[in-house]
Structure 1
Amino acid sequence: MSATPLDTRPSQPDPAAIAPAGIPLLPAELLSDEPPLETDLHRDQIDLLIRLLRWLWQDRQDFYASGNLTVYYSPHQRKSEDFRGPDFFVVLGVERKPRKSWVVWEEDGKYPHVIVELLSDSTAQSDRGLKKQIYQDIFRTPDYFWFDPQTLEFAGFHLVDGAYEAISPTAQGWRWSQQLGLYLGIYQEKLRFFTPAGDLVLSPEETAEAERQKAEAERQKNERLRAKLRELGVDPDAI
């Protein structure tokens, strides 16, 4: 339903070089090891972003979108609690299939192209500092955003010459994702996607409701026309 965005991401390291020498690679079927989400707001926001993108790109089979899922990029990582997986991330140019976690060395060395972190009291410092540094220097993720579901703080960054530069907001406060070819912005206190034309990307339920309203409006229009014809002494069924 959308043209594939141009991948401007820097070249990635060889998967075999990701793990330090002498340390065996972990098996591909690693389970995600993420802690429970802090609030319903965080869980609902992650689910919304995943569902929206999967619905928008329902005809595409060349991406992976998930959230609150561990990204394994080094065998040393399991020994540290300093880093957790992104709240929401998208990888382009990969097979669209279910995964138990994202294991970089089993995915041709691919890291997320887009990451969204949801700020909370316990994660905000890491999301603005340590994680941002990891996404910039190790992942080299082109588009990084953070959003606070409670305060509605929203920021975005694009990787330029190896360093993140802030993405300037539009007049509506939206920020452009070059990788997705979409805007991200706040709508009814939720982080949502918007098309290049400025249209809200609808969920399956919103799409169904919009179609229902359109059909109802058409029905009412036809009924008014039929009533007008009857006022003029014309049988609408005879036309």
Structure 2
Amino acid sequence: MRAQRSASDPLGPPASPPAFKPSFLPGPPCRWPCYPVVREEDREPIPPFHLPSMRNKILARNDSARENAMSQPAAAAFAPLPFELVYDDGEPLETDWHTRELPLLRHLLRQAMAEQGRTDFFAGANIFVYYSVEQAREVAEEMAKGLPWRTFRGPDVFWVGGVDPGRKREAWIAWEEGGRLPDVVFEMLSPSTAKKDRTEKRDLYARVFRTAEYFMYEHETRKLEGLSLAGRFYQPIQPDEHGRLWSEQLGAFVGLWHGEIEGKQDDWVRLFHPDGSLIPTEAEAERRRADEAEAELARLRALIAERDRG
């Protein structure tokens, strides 16, 4: 998934440990280890999308590790790790379309926030999200030993609100972010990932991340789906008359747009203003300003010519 670069680049200084204890959701065990996670008090579930029991049996050693982690103080998460974090796995994106869509969506998230005057957020694309030390250890072991990649690495695109925008981040590391995890996640499905995105990852985002909104798009079928978390369960976000899905977190619609991006005509996942107008990229906004300036100049020239004739 990620372009190869040095795994030894330093991260910025860790944030001061917050005063909390890791908290865990009730119910069947997670597919991946669950430490540390902070969540609000559970609300009453609304279960149109009941989360299935985890399909992959968790090993007893992971159960034991999770129980031990639950009894540790939060400050333990800030101790030096006995292994090096991995920031890139060298895996290319699935298709040429993915190489354009992911940075496009991240850029549009930043544009949407700029229009709203917000700077307290982080938007990431194709980077690791570490939600537990055990997960980070397993990723490092898979990379070091050349094992098949089974451990969760990160969403395609994600957004977190209410965080320090100036912090240097090579990855999103929950225990350096006060336990925060993505508020909004986007996954671009492909035939090889669709099943996992709709099952294992959905369970992880609901039970562990507590991600408020989860959007999925399958390019081959042009199917766009949105889920909103209610208690411990996801419920579908109903599309408007244009097939767009409203995001309460982003204050924008998520929808499809057909046009040219980097010389390629295709359908793209984009963001739209509440009035339905397209949130432009920086280049599109610049072209629009140039067109408006040219139109105004033409108008003034026409007025001068008319005056001279009179």
Question: The TM-score by the shorter chain falls in which range?
Answer: 0.7 to 0.9
* 1:231 alignment counterpart: 309
* Counterpart in the other structure of 1:5: none
Residue 150 of structure 1 deviates from its aligned partner by 3.7
Q: What does 1:85-234 correspond to in 2, within 5 Å?
A: 85-96=154-165, 97-188=167-258, 189-232=267-310
SS in 2 for 1:154: strand
With over 3 angstroms needed to count, the CA separation of the structure-2 counterparts of 1:166 and 1:16, relative to structure 1, is: closer
Cα distance in 1 for partners of 2:119, 2:129 equals: 21
Change in 2 beyond 3 A, CA 1:61/1:31: farther
Higher RCO (C-alpha under 8 Å, 6+ residues apart): 2
> Distance in 2 between the 1:185 and 1:148 partners?
12
- Relative to structure 1, the CA distance from residue 151 to residue 27 in structure 2 (aligned partners, 3 Å threshold; closer, same or farther) is farther
Match of 1:32 among 66, 69, 87: 87
Q: Give the structure-1-normalised TM-score.
A: 0.84
Taking a change above 3 Å as real, the CA distance of residues 135 and 16 of structure 1, as seen in their structure-2 partners, is closer
Question: AA paired with 2:94?
Answer: E
SS at match of 1:57: helix
Q: CA deviation at 1:121?
A: 1.6
- Structure 2 alignment gaps of length 5 or more: 1-19, 25-34, 37-65, 140-149, 259-266
CA RMSD of aligned residues (A): 2.2
1:229 partner letter = R
Question: Following TM superposition, by how much is the alpha carbon of 1:16 offset from its aligned partner in structure 2, in angstroms?
Answer: 8.4
**Structure 1 stretches lacking a partner, 5+ long:** 1-12, 233-239
- The 1:210/1:27 distance shift into structure 2, 3 A limit, reads farther
Q: C-alpha displacement at 1:141, in angstroms?
A: 0.3
Query: Counterpart of 1:159 in 2: which secondary structure?
Result: strand
Q: Aligned residues, how many?
A: 220
8 Å Cα contact 2:101-2:268 kept in structure 1: yes
- Asked whether 1:45 is paired with 2:114, we answer no
Residue range with higher mean Cα deviation, 218-227 or 159-168:
218-227
Question: Residues 33-84 of structure 1: CA distance to partner in whole angstroms, max 9, x if unpaired?
Answer: 4532111211211101111122332453310001111111122224261423
In the alignment, the residues of structure 1 paired with residue 294 and residue 240 of structure 2 have an alpha-carbon distance, to the nearest angstrom, of 35
Q: How far apart, in 2, do the equivalents of 1:129 and 1:39 lie?
A: 22
How far did residue 149 of structure 1 move?
3.1
Query: Distance between the aligned counterparts of 2:119 and 2:21, measured in 1?
Result: 24
Query: Residue 16 of structure 1 contacts residue 105 of structure 1 at CA under 8 Å; is this kept in 2?
Result: no
Instruction: Report the Cα distance in structure 1 between the residues aligned to 2:278 and 2:87, rounded to whole angstroms.
Output: 31
Counterpart among 96, 117, 126 of residue 68 in structure 1 = 126
C-alpha distance 42-201 of structure 1, shift in aligned 2 (>3 A): same
On the 8 A contact 2:111/2:279 being kept in 1, the answer is no
What is the CA–CA distance in structure 2 between the aligned matches of 1:149 and 1:224, rounded to whole Å? 47
Normalising by structure 2, what TM-score?
0.66
Task: State how far apart, in whole Å, the 2-side matches of 1:27 and 1:43 are.
Answer: 34
